[in-house]
Structure 1
């Protein structure tokens, strides 16, 4: 049962437990996307709604609070790309306010906690809430010691080398009246001007552009190579502090003034306010001016000015009682839906894109918006937060006046339609059932996905033959987990594709025959070409699992490819079984594939559908003239983990997740992506969340990374 739209006060205890489990997983996934991957999947408003719902359920059912509850932590576990540094003082998150009543409640709670009368005035600072990446910079005797991201609030990533390239952060504090130990905290961000210049450079280099300044700032600060960070004009506003060896002021205003005196940029729009009315007035003023500030903000932060009162108020769970973030509502505008274009991805998914009459939303000109799938257009899709039909069930039609929203600078979305402006002659959008590619291949919808629900994505069945899918297939083919060809990335593939030199995987292995065409072109000198051709030749002998994965068959991922390779041992045995299954989809060969542990009927049918397409078979046959899939080694049967189903979760410290999976596979274990009753062992590192909770619930054995190393010897 979908409980997402059930009111909290109507939930039973059992329903509440189920909903808290769902929220822990969804919030955890979105935190990882935001903090680790710098690629948020939800708007700020939608994410805040999930957090609020989780908190309300926990308040009603305190006995059901989970060990992995989102309310017990902030951010996400630090990435394994960087060394970790524990915070001497936790880096806290802020509770949110959305209305004037919320602001009054914040002040009222502080008055009651301090034993002050309702008429007592609490002066507060109000400052812009920068939409960037939180950073803590530690100084010892005035010298920068290290810099660390927020991470999960308890420990973060050591980004010292990158911070040393930033002009806004002093390497040594100015003046001399600073404490011997001073942790300065603030926000790393990119100005709108710097963001525009960065994306222009990305376009010139043939690289993907960044979605918004926050993602770009986070990605720039968290570069492995500090030289790349040095090329990015990152900025930093200081607004608070962590561990200090001596007080730096009696008030928030005085302390921030001292940070400025010691060499930091502080926000000139911070204002001291004497009442709720003054706070709201500054909030509204900043809201009106946010498009003119030159950087992104998503609200205003209020802090009790008196630091002695801050100390008395303290914190509750993960929020300080003395501060709150008053969030701006999602920015919206009305425009006209001029057209709906259909794009085709690597897996053949037909993705509709709205072409909008250009409109400015929050200082950014919007002309496109994603429409997800045909159910989203028809108003049949369910909102991922409320569980109710999107836009109240209204369908989208070309010519409609639509409400566009940019919340948290995520991709613009259509949130409503002005039906009173709809043309009475308009017709529902007819989603294409034929791929827009020149082959006019059928685009099919149906079947079941992993969750057992009817699939809502319509896909072209042309696979390699479809020109829209070819380039995406080629990118997967040369990727690290497939053929892993050094020096052959998206930019080079695009070059070769545009020149007609590479249209399918087999063509990659014939590139040396086009040396005369490539020689002399920019980026393709003699040494570069020799290196590229040598890298290609090294992959003429390829592991069977990599070969299968590189074909890009839908539902056949890295793990499944490994299972198929180990099961059949050789390409000939594998393909002979596939051909027999194609001849009789109810026969012995079909059952042999469909009943392989870790595969299942959905992946089996996708595999057969792929090879049932003549264009695909012919492309694979041409590839086999160029490469030889290497027989898979027989699985180890005498290791301590042979035959066990294992799940890896959390951050691993001595190896990557891919290395761990490969290691387990070599030892005869089966690696799964989720925990179930069939799981024998869970290897959990720091930051393990819903999978660890599921293992505890099912009584599955859980061990640490060190225990795993000891187990396998």
Structure 2
């Protein structure tokens, strides 16, 4: 769907679109967190913008896992979680000078500044690296973390200590007793190129760009590996602090420098939008000669008290914005198309290119996104193509230079089977990606699926991380989840670990204990651990609470698998204006095999055949109804090809919906998935029934929305506690909302609550109510 179709979406289409966007962006967040992004920043921003547009039109459909409620990427299970003293939020983007002028004008309006009153900003190069939050107590570095999801990050203290630019002890004596210093870890371009050249010569892993290199280097389990990487650091902000140490952003940067941190020398204090644009133009010209990658300029209101007044809206501060540089382009020859299979089975085409330099970086590969994109642009092997690099991730092909096409260039035929395991690759209705159906039998998906299975929010198996899963799968020891539990009782394999892999008796005992501890598992963790597409942590909880036990959920999944609607029924049901009542009328109609009204036009035939069907629905049916036999077939499809009662039950669970319900049905429809599940259950001791929400609390049955920067608990903790007390947690405010719990920085949701007369509570008032 293109952005201009938002205004024509039905509620059903909008719900499916939001589910698709949430899943797609979650996948890209995970790829970004692993330093292997597939799309450009601009493409990711476009997905976020479309999600926001659909939510604005259908506010009651905002999902609990909506991208609009998230900041950054999830925290990896291989590092301890660190909660930031003050959230590290994302910045909104400006893409042209008009956006910058609007930003400055919004600041003036919010602060009620007159046209002649000075408005100063600090403009800083937007370094393309990895954000870090470093906590000092009494001048000593005590902890460092990634940004993570904005609320909590990964503990990478030992790795950050290996970077020479980051002081272990602050200089001087004017620093606060406790302070978080924030900045960007990056790799200089020449040092990055040298590392890649050496790694390629030695047959080791190379990185696509300096940002991926910096992210991958900081996420090394062994700090000695990080110490050998050429990483640098620029400080740019503070987080939580015990005392005020500056009144402006410019003063804060000067303080950081006096304490021993590098501060970007091209950061500059300027007046109003004209000053910001002047810095932007200068940095755009100097960009290639800086020696490190930047993808834009960050503008911040200089006065810190004004920053505090401006506060936040949604996931971004009002007082700052990132002005992105435009994409850079070049032409080259497409030498081939490789198909990569992702952890969820998605088949992604990647262009192999004749090497070309774009914006100072040699590019050999580019994303082609999906088969529709290849067909739309008519990209063929041998074509000369226009290449665009934006955001310094994998570039994309913009267009084909038609006049340079070879005479023998043939249209590309996208594969219908997985190139890794040979399983059928299908394209679910409404999706742009083709997916391998091999699941856990597909080598490309195996390790990623197992990583999900043992992850912190699924089975949470101690001592079984990516490194071990790769080693065990390469030996053929682990091919499905049940094999993990079999391993703990396989003395022959455990003996190999001791003899060949250097495992001591204690390590083996810990591994066995970690595995055996999860032979008893809660129902929601089991459902989430299965890795069913579209079934996230929150949906797993909803399914668990609805069915109560594994046996009930399993029976429902199998029954749903027998009642998957046909593609023809799905197309019929998704027609604009076709409601459940319309389908019911079609299904219950008794039609004569011979056309009773041979001379009547199609619209009139439909009105006579299906009395009570409204005009919008008839207009949707007309293109499908070429003649009377087709009208009879539409009635049969509505009657016989629809979803089963069980599938309808799952789809009707509040917060689940038809997309997730269909995913459950399709999962259990595959014989190899059923075999994997049966084998896993046989290895478990007990699946604990779901805890039923309480009905006798002060908030049972109430709808609650949390907003702002919560300080007494994380958003996940707040949701879990509220739901355990029988409340329904929503992501948007409507007239049906009972309570809005507002932390600092509450924005549009607070205004919506006041408009609808919703009761607004502080965190303390909420805690008082539920305790």
Query: 1:501 maps to which residue?
Result: 477
Q: Is there any run of 5+ residues in structure 2 with no aligned partner, and where?
A: 8-13, 51-70, 76-80, 105-113, 565-639
In the alignment, what sits opposite 2:663?
606
The residue aligned with 1:396 is: 379
Give secondary structure in 2 for the equivalent of 1:410. Answer: coil
2:466 corresponds to 1:490:
yes
Match of 1:527 among 502, 506, 518: 506
Ranges in structure 1 where 5+ consecutive residues have no aligned partner: 12-17, 54-74, 107-111, 117-123, 380-393, 448-453
Partner residue of 1:358 out of 355, 358, 372: 355
CA RMSD of aligned residues (A): 6.6
- What's 1:442 paired with? 424
Deviation per residue, 1:285-329 (Å, 9 max, x gap):
9767644543223457999xxx9xxx9xxx99999xxx9998643
1:666 and 2:724 correspond: yes
Residue 192 of structure 1 aligns with which residue? Answer: 188
Q: How far apart are 1:486 and its partner, in Å?
A: 0.7
Map 1:152-191; keep pairs closer than 5 Å: 167-168=164-165, 188-191=184-187
Distance 1:94 1:578, change over 3 A: closer
Report the equivalent of 2:572. none
Specify whether residues 188 and 220 from structure 1 end up closer, same or farther in structure 2 by C-alpha distance, changes over 3 A only: farther
The change in CA–CA distance for 1:649 and 1:338 in structure 2 (over 3 A counts) is farther
SS where residue 595 of structure 1 aligns?
helix
Structure 2 distance, partners of 1:520, 1:605, is 47
Partner of 2:678: 621
Report matched runs for 1:562-573 at 5 Å. Answer: 562-573=541-552
- The alpha carbon displacement at 1:469 in A equals 2.9
C-alpha contact (below 8 Å) 2:40/2:395 kept by paired residues: no
2:701 is matched with: 644
Give the aligned partner of residue 415 of structure 1: 398
CA distance in 2, matches of 1:247, 1:673: 38
**How big is the shift at 1:626?**
0.9
Structure 1 equivalent of residue 494 of structure 2: 515
* In 1, Cα distance between equivalents of 2:719 and 2:311: 36
Q: Are residues 1:338 and 2:335 paired?
A: yes
1:424 Cα deviation from its structure 2 partner: 3.9
Partner of 2:770: 712
Tell me, yes or no, if structure 1 residue 433 matches structure 2 residue 408. no
Q: Work out whether 1:460 is the aligned partner of 2:436.
A: yes
Q: Secondary structure at the match of 1:339?
A: strand
Look up the SS of the partner of 1:333 in the other structure: strand
Judging changes above 3 Å, is the alpha-carbon distance between structure 1 residues 545 and 691 closer, same or farther for their aligned structure 2 residues?
farther
Change (3 A) 1:3 1:326: closer
Task: Report how far residue 41 of structure 1 moved.
Answer: 9.2
CA distance in 1, matches of 2:247, 2:541: 59
What SS is found at the alignment partner of 2:531?
coil
Work out whether residues 343 and 449 of structure 2, in 8 Å CA contact, stay in contact via their aligned partners in 1: yes
- Please, which of 309, 327, 344 is the counterpart of residue 347 of structure 1? 344
| CA offset digits 1:657-712 (Å, max 9, x no partner) | 44444434433x36566447696556645456676676667666554443443333
1:84 corresponds in structure 2 to: 85
Aligned equivalents of 2:703, 2:156: Cα separation in 1: 36
Supply the distance in 2 between the matched residues of 1:607 and 1:548 (Cα, whole angstroms).
10
- Structure 2 equivalent of residue 71 of structure 1: none
Deviates more, 1:630-639 or 1:229-238: 229-238
In the alignment, the residues of structure 2 paired with residue 486 and residue 684 of structure 1 have an alpha-carbon distance, to the nearest angstrom, of 35
Which of the pair is proportionally richer in helix? 2
What are the residue-to-residue correspondences of 1:6-405 with 2, within 5 Å? 43=40, 81-84=82-85, 130-131=127-128, 167-168=164-165, 188-192=184-188, 213-214=210-211, 234-237=231-234, 265=262, 290-291=287-288, 293-298=290-295, 328-379=325-376, 394-405=377-388
SS in 2 for 1:509: helix
Q: CA deviation at 1:536?
A: 0.9
Give the drift of 1:533: 1.3
Q: Which residue of 2 aligns with 1:61?
A: none
Match of 1:632?
689
Give the secondary-structure state (helix, strand or coil) at the position aligned to 1:625. helix
Distance 1:221 1:683, change over 3 A: farther
* Residue 550 (str. 1) matches residue 552 (str. 2): no
- Residue 190 of structure 1, CA deviation: 1.9
Shift of the 366–605 alpha-carbon distance from structure 1 to 2, 3 Å rule, reads same
The SS at the match of 1:403 is strand
Contact 2:346 2:435 in 1 (8 A): yes
Compared CA separation, residues 126 and 663, structure 1 to 2 (3 A): closer
How far residue 98 of structure 1 moved from its aligned partner, in angstroms, is 5.8
Deviates most, 500-509 or 545-554: 545-554
Mapped partners of 2:528, 2:702: distance in 1: 21
Instruction: Give the deviation of 1:135 after TM superposition.
Output: 8.9
Q: What's the secondary structure of 1:711's corresponding residue?
A: helix
CA offsets 1:338-368 (integer angstroms, 9 cap, x no match): 2222223333322222222232333333222
Number of corresponding residues: 631
In the alignment, is the contact (CA less than 8 A) between 2:187 and 2:214 conserved in 1?
no
Q: Which moved more, 1:333-342 or 1:486-495?
A: 333-342
Following superposition, the deviation at residue 485 of structure 1 comes to: 0.8
TM-score, with length taken from structure 2 = 0.61
- CA apart distance, 1:624: 2.1
Residues 139-187 of structure 1: CA deviation (Å, up to 9, x unaligned):
99x9789999999xxx9999998988764366788799x9999x99995
Residue 399 of structure 1 deviates from its aligned partner by: 2.0
Identify the residue that residue 622 of structure 2 maps to in structure 1.
Answer: none
| Cα contact 2:705–2:733 (8 A) shared by 1 | no
Matched residues in 2 for 1:614 and 1:261: separation? 65
- Which range moved further: 335-344 or 636-645? 636-645
Cα distance in 2 for partners of 1:676, 1:258 equals: 42
Alpha carbons 1:191, 1:294 under 8 Å: kept: no
CA distance in structure 2 between the partners assigned to 1:373 and 1:470 by the alignment: 22
TM-score normalised by structure 1 residue count: 0.65
Could you tell me how far 1:593 is from its partner in structure 2?
4.7
- How far apart, in 2, do the equivalents of 1:127 and 1:634 lie? 50
Q: Is the 8 A contact 2:704 2:739 kept in 1?
A: yes
8 Å CA contact 1:137–1:144 kept in 2: the answer is no
- Alpha-carbon distance, 1:230 to partner: 7.9
- Secondary structure of 2:500 counterpart: coil
Cα distance in 2 for residues equivalent to 1:247 and 1:482: 45
1:63 paired residue number? none
Aligned partners of 2:123 and 2:267 also within 8 Å: yes
CA contact (8 A) 1:188 1:234 kept: no
Q: Following the alignment from structure 1 to structure 2, what is the Cα–Cα distance between the partners of residues 225 and 683?
A: 44
Structure 2 CA distance for aligned equivalents of residues 634 and 706 of structure 1: 26
Closer, same or farther in 2 for the Cα pair 1:284/1:114, shift >3 Å?
closer
Equivalent residue, structure 1, for 2:573: none
Question: 2:678, 2:449 → 1: CA distance?
Answer: 16
Aligned-pair CA distance for 1:508: 1.0
1:640 counterpart SS class: coil
